[in-house]
Structure 1
Amino acid sequence: MTEVYNVQEVERKWQRIWEESGIYQVDDDDTRPRSYVLCMYPYPSGAAHQGHVKNYTFGDLNVRFRTMKGEAVLSPFGFDSFGLPAENAAIRTKIHPREYTDARIDELRSSVKRLGAVFDWRRESKSHDPSMIKWSQIIFARLYEAGLAYKAEAPVNWCPGCQTVLANEQVNSDGTCDRSGDIVERKNLSQWFFRITSYADDLLEGLDSLDWPERVKTMQRNWIGRSVGAKMKLKVAGLSDYSIEVYTTRPDTSFGMTYAVIAPEHPFVELITSSKIQDEKWKIDNVVSPEFSVSEQNSREIQDFVQSVKNLSDVDRVTTTSERPKRGIFTRCSVMNPFTGKLVPLYIADYVLMTYGTGAIMAVPGEDQRDYDFAKVFDLPIIRTVAPPEGFEGDAYTGSGEKINSEFLNGLSIEEAKSKAISWLQERDLGVASTQYRLRDWLISRQRYWGCPIPIVYCDKCGTSTVPVDDLPVLAPDDVEFLPTGESPLARHAIFSKAVCPKCGGPATRETDTMDTFVDSSWYFLRFCDSFNSKEPFSLTALEEWMPVDQYIGGIEHAILHLMYARFFTRALSDLSLVPKSLKEPFARLFTQGMIRMDGSKMSKSKGNLISPEQYFDGVGADALRLFHLFIGPPGDDFDWTGQADEMIEGCSRFLKRVYRVAVNEYVPTKVQDSESKLLREFTHRIIEKATIDYERWSYNTVVSGAMSLCNQIYKGISNGADSSSVDEAIDILIKLLAPMTPHICAELWSIRHDGEIVHLQKWPTPDQALLSSVKETLVVQVAGKVREKFEVDGSITEQEALALSMGSQKVLSFLANGSASRVVYRLPKLINLIP
C-alpha cells in the first residue's frame, strides 16, 4: 500500500502548474458568469504570519469554490507599499525605503505562493509603482478641482519619536504612538483634507442595504455619529453680549443642567487667559460687571491645566473608565441656563472635545455618566429630569421614563419633551434644531518621504495649482537624507520643492507633503478591474463588468477607516463620472475574519509575536496548515495560538495522509453488500448538500467535519463490503469537497485517479435529490429554543412541509400563544425552531 506522499514535491509541482497554466487568470472575453473576490491590500512588512495565512486561505478557497461553480473569478493581488515603517527603517539602517519595501514584497509574495493561494499575478499592483502614483495624483487633482480636496490649518497628532504626523488609529488609548511608544503631542499645521463630511448622510444611509457584518455597520454608524438635537446659547454672566454656544441631543434635560463645560481648546479659554482682560479699558468697552471675576492667578492656573491636557489622546480624554478621575478646573465664570434663568458654574474639562459639536456642553449629571462622575469629583448638584424605575440604585439614569423636575415638560415622554423643548427655544430665539456629526474631514497630509507626493504647486502670483497631467507623475527624488528631524526629506531637498507655475510660467514652490497611505487603499480595487490600461486608471466599461467587489475579505481592525474611505472615494468618483453613476458601494459583501492572537495580542511584526508559516510549509505542508485554520472554529472567531496548535496541525496532516491512502490504493471488494453500498451513497450525497450550504455561509469548520465523517464512512464502507462504484464515487466527492480547502493534495489525487485532469476545473458536485428523498431524518421541533416534539421525516423535507407538520402538533401549539409564531428558524432536515 502507498502510505505517504512527498508533501513539498507535490505542493511545488501544483503551484507551478497553476501559475503556468493561467487557469485562474480572467480576461475581458471570458464568457462565464463573473465574480470578483478580493483580500484586503496588505502592507508588505515581510514574510507572511499566521494572520496572513488565515486571510489568504479564505480568499483562495472562495476563488476555487466559485470557479468550480462555473464562475470567472477576478482574483488580483497587490501591495499597500507606502508607509511609515519603511521610512523609519531608512532612518535606522540607511537602506532606501524603495529597496527595503521591494525586499519585503518579495518575502510576502513568496509566502503567499507557497500557501498555494492562486491570484492573477499579471494584475499585481504596488502603491509605490510610478504608474500607480500617477493615477493617485490624477484622482487627487480631480477631487481638488471639484472642491473635495482643500488645505486648512488643523490640530494633528505629532509623534516626537517618529517625528511625523500620525493618524488617529496610530495613537494608543494611553496617548502614546503605537510604534515608538512616545507620548503623542497636538500641533497645529497647515494640512490637506478630503471633504468626506459632504457624504456623511449618504455614507450612513448606504449601510442599511449592505451585506456586511452588523458589528461593522454599527462601528461605521458610530464613527459617523449623526445626532439630532439643538444648539443654544448660554450667556456668560458679567460679560456683555458674550455667549457660549452648546449642542445637545437632549434639550429636554436642560432643567437638570447644574454646570457647563468647555473644551481646553475653546476660544473662551484663550480670552480668559489673555492679558487684555486685566486691562481697564477692555473691561469698560466690554461692559464687564463684578460677576466676571477672572484673576491673573486664576488665568495662570487655567493655562497650567490646559498644558497638562495637551498631550492626551482624544480616546483617553473621552474614556468612560474610572481608572482616573475626571480632570477639570473652574473658570470662575458662570453662564445662564436659558430654561430656568439661573446661573451655573462654567468649567474646563478634558472630556469635552473641540472636534465634536461646539466644544462646549451643558452638563446634566442626572442623565449622563461622564457628567455624573465629574459632578461627584467637584461636588456639584445632581438633578434627575427623567424618573428612573422603582428601585433604581445606579448613578446617571439614561433609560426611558416620564419627565420630572422639568416644569412645562413634566409628565411627557423623552421624545415628546425633546420636540417641545426645541420648539420652546426656537420660539424665543434662544436656540435652533441642529444635526451634528462625529465624522470629520479626512486629513491626508503626511510630512514624510515614503508616500505619494501631493501634486500641488504654489505661486505668489497665481496661487495654488495642480500639476498638469502631462507632467505627472510627480516622483520623490532618491537622493534624500533620512534624518529624525521632524521635517520631511522632501522639504529639505535642494531641488524637489522648486517648480514652475503651470499658469504663468514663473517660479513656484512644490508641495512637500505626501498623502496618507489610506488614499492608495481607497481605490486600488478599481484599478484591478482594468490593470492593463495605460491611458487612464480604469475605464467605465471595465468597472461595469466587475464592480462592485462580490466578496471582500479582511480583518475587523479595518472596519472603520479603510472601509469608510473606500466608500467615500467610490461615491465621490461616481459623482465626478470617473466610475459608473450606479456604483456607490465598492464592496457588496464583506467578511471580517477573526484575529490570530498570541500572549493576548494580535500577531504582528511590530509586536514581535509572529509564528512563521514557513516552518509548516517545510514540514507538514501548506495543505495541513490551511486545513487547521479552517477547522479550529468559525472563521469570524479569534484564535489564541498556544502549544496545542502544533498538535492540531499534525492531526490535520494525519487526516490528509489518510485521505491520500484511501484514494490511491485500488479497492476490490471480496463480497458486495448492497445495503452498505446504499448507505454509503446516501451518506455521500447528504454530505454534498450540507457542505455546499456550509461553503456558502462560511461555515468552513463544519465542512471539514463533514469531510472527516465522509472519510470515516468510506473506510467503514470498504470494511463492510460496499461496491467499488459507491466507494469510488464517495472518494471523488471527498476530493472535490476538499479541493478549495486543501488544493495541492486534491489536485494530485484527482490527477492520479483521472489521467492528469485538473480537479479545480471540474464541476462542483450536486446531490442526487431522489436519493436524498429516501433518507429518513429526525426533525426536532423547538419552541423558543426548547425541544417540544420530534418527527421522522424524509431528508428532502421543505420548509413549508416542516412548518405544517410542526403546527399540526397539539403539543407544539400548547407552547405558542395564539397558536402562531412570530419567526421561524429552519435547519432542515434536522431542526425547526418556532419563536413565539
Structure 2
Amino acid sequence: MSRNKKYDIGAVESRWQREWEKAKLYFPSVEKAKKPFYNLWMFPYPSAEGLHAGHAFSSTGSDIYGRFMRMQGKDVFQPIGYDSFGIHSENFALKIGEHPQTMLARTIKNYERQLRSLGHGYDWTRTVTTSEPDYYKWTQWLFIELFKAGLSYRAKASVNWCPSCKTVLADEQVVSGSCERCQTVVETRELEQWFFRITEYGERLLANLDKIDWPERIKAAQRNWIGKSEGMLVEFKIDGSDAEIEVFTTRPDTLNAVTFLATSKLYQEGEREKAGRFSGKYAIDPLSGRKLPIWDTNYVAPDYGTGVIMGVPAHDERDMEFAKKYGLDIVKKEPDKSLWQKIEKEGWGKPHINYHLRDWLISRQRYWGPPIPMIYCEKCEKEGKGERAEMPGWYAADEKDLPVKLPFVEDYQPRGTGVSPLASDPNFYQVTCPGCGGQARRETDVSDTFLDSSWYFLRYPSTRSARSGQLPFDPEITKKWLPVNLYFGGAEHAVLHLMYARFITMFLDDIKKVGFEEPFPRFFAHGLMIKNGAKMSKSRGNVVNPDQYVEKYGADAFRLYLMFIGPMDGSPDFRDTGMEGMRRFTERVWRLFSQYSDVVLVEEKDSREVLNKMHQTIKKVTEDIQSFRYNTAIAAMMEFVNLLYDKTEANIKRAHGGIRCAEWDEALKTLALLLAPFAPHLAEEAWVEVLGQKFSVHLEPWPKYNPAFLGV
C-alpha cells in the first residue's frame, strides 16, 4: 500500500462496522458457545434527546472489556436493549405533545444509530424493548407468579405521592423528601396499592452482599437501605389506661435513663430543628415506675421500628437537643447491659430485629407501563371467594390471555385522582370474572418501570429461542449464560434497579425457574462525567452530544478520549481541547503504521529496547484493563508509540526485497492488538490493510508478555 495513504475516518469506520456485522463477529451462537462470557451494559432509557456523553463513557467502558475478553478466547455475548416503559418516556412525550408509542419508534432508532456509530460490539439480533408486548407479556407473567406465591398483595397504606408526576412512588424513589425523577416535594396520601413483599427477602439480600464482587460503596448503600437493627420491643403501659405503647430500641441497656417517649406523628423528612408537642398522655417506665411524658415529634421516622422511640437525652444527641428545648428531665446513668435479660425475664419486652426496608410499592397511576394483570370481582369479594383466601375478589389473568395489552389511549394525561388513564377506557377494564363468570373489572394501574428492568438480563439470550413465545427465558440457554459475568452501570441505581433485580432473581430461584440467587456476581460502577468542571445538565447547556465529536474526530478518537480523561469510577472532566489532543494521537498512530511499517532496527540494543517496552506495555495494559484503569492503559500505549517513533528517527533504514525486521513487525502487530479494544476501527485498518494480516484483529488472541523482557 502507499506509504502516505490518507486515513479517511468516516469511510474507514463505516466500512469496518459493515464488515463486522456481515461477518457476524459479535453474534455468538448462544446454543453452541463453548466459553460463554456474558458482558452486559445497563440498558438506557431511550430519551428523545438521544445518547449523551455519559452514555458513551459508560457503554464504551463496557465494550472495551467485552472486546478484551473476546481476544482472551471467550464467546462474548454483549446485547443491547431499551428500558422504554415508564414515567421518563411518558413525561417527555407529554412535554412535546406526542404519543409515547410514536415517539419511541423514533428515539429508539436514533439511539441505535448513535450506538452503532461508536463501534460497539453488540449482538443486534437479540435486542429487547420493554414496551413491546412480546416482552411485557413476561413482565406480567412475573407479577402473576409473585401473586401465586403470596408475595404480591393489595393494601391501603400511607404512600408517597408526587403531585407533579401524579403517581405514587416507592420509598426508594424519594430522595430527601422529593421525587427522584422531577425533584418535586412528595406528599403523603392514603391509597389502595399493590406491593411486593421484598421485606421477606431482607435477610438474604443483606447476607448475600458478602458473596458478590461489587464496589464497597454500592454494598454499603444496600446495607444502609435494608437497615438491619438488632434490639428489643419494649412495652410501656399508658398511665390511667389498659392500653400499651410499644417501642423499638437498639439500646435496652439505657432504659435506666429514659425520661420521655417520642412519637413520629409530626415527622417531616429533612427537618433540622427538633420540634414537638406534648400529647397530654404519660407512659409508665417498667423499670422505675416513673411517669414518662409522651411527645409527638418531627424527628422520629414513622418507618423506624414502631414509630415510637425512648427519649434518652444522656445517651442520644437528638434526644438531648429536644429535652433541653422543652425542659424535659435528663437522667445521667451508665448503660446497664443486664437490662437486656431483665426486660425479657420480667415480660416487659422481647428481642426484635428491625429493618428499614419496606415492601416494594409496585403500582403506578400512569398510562405508559405494563397493565397489572389482575381482575377484581365485587360479587366474589362479598362471597369471600378469590384466588387467594386473604384477598377475596381478586384473580390473576390467565397466562394464555397474556399479554394484557396496553390499549392506545389518545388522552393519556395523568389524572392526579389516584387512578390511571386506563380507568376511562371501559373496553379495557370491563371483563368476565374468572371465578363466577359475572361482570368484573381489570386493574387499571400499571406496574413500576423497575419491574421491567428487574429481569431483562434473563430475556436477552433467549430472545430468538424456539420457545421464546412460550417461556420468558429458555432453561438450557439460561443455564449456559447466566448469571451475568460482568455488569457495567451507574452507582445511582444502587438501591433501586440493583436491589429489585436481586430480589426478583432470588424469587425466581425459589420457584426453580433459575439456578442462582445473584444475577450479577460482578458489578462495576462507573463514575459521573462532568463538562468543564460542572455537572452536565440541560439548564447549564453543557450536555455533550456524541454525534458532533464522532463526526468531527471519529469514533476511535472519541472513545480513546472518554477513557483517557480519568478513571472509570471517578468523575472525568470532558473538555473540547482534550479531543484535539486525542485526534493528534490517533493521527500519529496511523502515521506510524502507514509510513514506518518497514523500519529495520539496526542496533541490537534498539531491538532489545523495543522488545522490553513492548512486553512491559502488554503487562501494563492487560492488568489495567482487568481492573478498569483504562486511562493508564492508554497512557502506557502512548509511551510505547513514543518509543517506536524514537526508533524510526534512529533507524531510517528501510526493508528491501520483502525482508522485514521481525522485532519491528512484532511491535507494530502488538500495538494493533493492544489498541483493538479501545480504537477498534483504527486497529482493524492497520491490521488488515497495513500489516497484511487476516480479518479480524478482534478475533486474534490477546498478546502475552514474556517476563524475561520486563527488565529495564
Per the shorter chain, which TM-score range? over 0.9
- Asked if 1:708 corresponds to 2:709, the answer is no
Distance 2:533 2:608 in 1: 50
Contact 2:52–2:544, Cα closer than 8 Å, also in 1:
yes
Given candidates 549, 552, 556, the residue that maps to 1:623 is 556
CA-CA distance at 1:498 after TM superposition: 0.5
Residue 475 of structure 2 aligns with which residue?
A: 540
Work out the CA distance in 1 between the residues paired with 2:538 and 2:136. 26
Deviations 1:756-809 (A, max 9, x none): 52110111001123444xx25xxxxxxxxxxxxxxxxxxxxxxxxxxxxxxxxx
Whether contact under 8 Å (2:232, 2:252) holds in the other structure is yes
Mapped contact 1:667–1:724 kept (Cα < 8 A): no
Distance change in 2, residues 1:496/1:605 (3 Å)? farther
Q: CA deviation at 1:669?
A: 4.9
Aligned to 2:223: 221
Q: 1:28 aligns with which of 24, 30, 42?
A: 30
Residue identity in the other structure for 1:443: L
CA apart distance, 1:718: 2.0
Q: Contact 1:739–1:747 (CA<8 Å) still a contact in 2? A: yes
Superposition pairs of residues 240-251 of structure 1, within 5 angstroms:
240-251=241-252
Give the match for residue 483 of structure 1: 413
Structure 1 residue 673, shift from structure 2 partner = 0.9
**Cα–Cα, structure 1 residues 560 and 653, in superposed 2: closer, same or farther, change >3 Å?**
same
Q: What's the CA shift for 1:558?
A: 0.6
Is it true that 1:586 corresponds to 2:588 in the alignment?
no
CA displacement, residues 80-123 of structure 1 (integer Å, 9 cap, x when unaligned): 11111332344444411111222221222221111111111111
Alpha-carbon distance, 1:354 to partner:
2.2
Counterpart secondary structure, 2:450? coil
Contact 1:549 1:587 in 2 (8 A): yes
1:248-291 CA distance string (max 9 Å, x none)? 01111222222211111xxxxxxxxxxxxxxxxxxxxxxxxxxx
Q: Does 1:366 align with 2:314?
A: yes
Residue 464 in 1 paired to residue 394 in 2? yes
The answer to whether 1:333 aligns with 2:263 is: no
Residue of structure 2 in register with 1:389 after alignment: none
- Identify which of 688, 692, 699 aligns with 1:761: 699
Using a 3 Å threshold, how does the CA distance of structure 1 residues 181 and 700 change in structure 2: closer, same or farther?
Answer: closer
Whichever residue aligns with residue 355 of structure 1, its letter is D
- Could you tell me how far apart the structure 2 residues matched to 1:539 and 1:331 are? 60
State the AA in 2 paired with 1:74: F
- Report what 1:508 is aligned to: 440
Q: Give, in angstroms, the shift of residue 169 of structure 1.
A: 4.4
Kindly, what percent of the aligned residue pairs are identical? 42
Change (3 A) 1:348 1:679: same
Q: What are the superposed Cα offsets for residues 8-33 of structure 1, whole Å, 9 maximum, x if unpaired?
A: 22111122222222111111343431
1:636 to 2:569 alignment: yes
* Separation (CA, whole Å) in 2 of partners of 1:149 and 1:116: 42
| Match of residue 262 from structure 2 | 261
1:107 equivalent in structure 2 = 110
Question: Which whole-Å deviations, capped at 9, do the CAs of 1:358-414 have from their partners, x for residues lacking one?
Answer: 0100022333233233334334344455xxxxxxxxxxxxxxxxxx2x5xx2xxxxx
Partner of 1:448: 366
Greater CA deviation, 30-39 or 732-741? 30-39
Q: Is 2:49 the partner of 1:119?
A: no
Structure 1 stretches of 5 or more lacking a match?
A: 265-305, 318-323, 386-403, 410-416, 777-836
Q: Do the aligned partners of 1:4 and 1:660 also contact (CA within 8 Å) in 2?
A: no
Name the counterpart of 1:661: 591
C-alpha separation between the residues in 2 aligned to 1:573 and 1:115?
35
Shift in Å at residue 690 of structure 1? 1.9
2:283 is the counterpart of 1:345: no
Task: For residue 245 of structure 1, give the secondary structure of its aligned residue in structure 2.
Answer: strand
Indicate how the Cα distance of structure 1 residues 576 and 652 shifts in structure 2: closer, same or farther if over 3 A, else same: same
What is the rounded CA distance, in whole Å, between the counterparts of 2:29 and 2:480 in structure 1?
11
SS in 1 for 2:309: strand
- Tell whether the 8 Å contact from 2:370 to 2:446 is kept in structure 1 after alignment: yes
Task: State the shift of 1:484 in Å.
Answer: 4.4
Gaps of 5+ in 2: 386-392, 653-659
Amino acid at match of 2:559: R
How far apart are the structure 2 equivalents of 1:16 and 1:167?
Answer: 44
Query: Match for 2:139 among 136, 139, 162?
Result: 136
Equivalent position of 1:499 in the other structure? 431
> Partners of 1:529 and 1:727 in 2: how far apart?
43
SS in 2 for 1:355: coil
Q: Which residue of 181, 193, 198 corresponds with 2:200?
A: 198
Specify the alignment match of 1:691 in structure 2: 621
For each residue in 1:515-538, what CA deviation from the matched residue of structure 2 results, as whole angstroms up to 9, or x when unmatched?
000001111101112112221001
Conserved? CA contact 2:46–2:89, under 8 Å: no
Q: Is the CA contact 1:171–1:177 (under 8 Å) kept in the aligned structure 2? A: yes
1:528-553 deviations in whole A, cap 9, x for unaligned? 12112221001221111011101000
Asked if the contact 1:3–1:657 (Cα under 8 Å) also holds between the matched residues in 2, the reply is no
Q: 1:421 aligns with which of 339, 354, 374?
A: 339
Does the C-alpha gap of structure 1 residues 177 and 669 become closer, same or farther in structure 2, counting only changes over 3 Å? closer
In 1, the alpha carbon distance for the partners of 2:189 and 2:667 equals 67
* Equivalent-residue separation in structure 2 for 1:670 and 1:123 (angstroms): 48
Q: Which moved more, 1:151-160 or 1:375-384?
A: 375-384
Q: Is the 8 A contact 2:169 2:361 kept in 1?
A: no
* CA distance in 2 between partners of 1:684 and 1:422 (Å): 66
1: CA distance, partners of 2:188 / 2:438:
36
Whether the 8 Å contact between 1:256 and 1:384 is mirrored in structure 2 is yes
**Residues 669, 718 of structure 1: 8 Å contact kept:** yes
The number of residue pairs the alignment matches comes to 684
Shift in Å, 1:338: 2.1
- Conserved 8 A contact 2:261-2:294: yes
Normalising to structure 1: TM-score of the pair? 0.79
Matches within 5 A, 1:773-784: 775=711
Write the deviation string for residues 477-536 of structure 1: whole angstroms up to 9, x where unpaired.
113422342141101113211111122222111000110000011111011121122210
Question: Is the contact made by 1:37 and 1:549 (CA closer than 8 Å) also made in structure 2?
Answer: yes
RMSD: 2.0
- Partner Cα separation in structure 1 for residue 148 and residue 537 of structure 2: 39
Structure 1 residues 379 and 54: alpha-carbon distance in aligned structure 2, compared to 1, 3 A threshold: farther
Instruction: Tell me how far 1:724 sits from its aligned partner.
Output: 3.0
Aligned residue type for 2:79? P
**Does 1:82 pair with 2:20?**
no
Does the 8 Å CA contact 1:192/1:444 hold for their aligned counterparts?
A: yes
Over 3 Å counting, the alpha-carbon distance change for 1:382 and 1:705 in structure 2 is: farther
- Correspondent of 1:557 among 488, 492, 495: 492
Which residue number in structure 2 is paired with residue 145 of structure 1?
Answer: 148
Residue type at the aligned position of 1:71? K
Q: Is the 8 A contact 1:480 1:493 kept in 2?
A: no
Alpha carbons 1:211, 1:588 under 8 Å: kept: yes
Displacement of 1:327 in angstroms is 2.7
Instruction: Provide closer, same or farther for how the CA distance between residues 235 and 26 of structure 1 changes in structure 2, counting only shifts above 3 A.
Output: same
Provide the C-alpha distance between the structure 1 equivalents of 2:56 and 2:125, rounded to a whole number of angstroms: 22
Deviations 1:592-638 (A, max 9, x none): 00001358775456986521111101111111111112112221111
Partners of 2:461 and 2:234 lie apart in 1 by 50
- Letter of the aligned partner of 1:440 in structure 2? R
Find the aligned partners of 1:92 and 1:696 in 2 and give their Cα distance.
43
Instruction: Give the structure 2 partner of residue 574 of structure 1.
Output: 509
Once the two structures are superposed, the pairs formed by residues 21-60 of structure 1 within 5 Å of their partners are 21-46=23-48, 47-60=50-63
SS at match of 2:426: coil
Q: Write the deviation string for residues 687-731 of structure 1: whole angstroms up to 9, x where unpaired.
A: 112211111111111111110010011111222239832222111
Q: Pick one of 739, 744, 748 that aligns with 2:681.
A: 744
Whole-angstrom distance in 1 between the partners of 2:538 and 2:502? 29
TM superposition shift of 1:670: 7.3
**What is the match of residue 282 of structure 1?**
none
SS of structure 2 residue aligned to 1:26 = coil
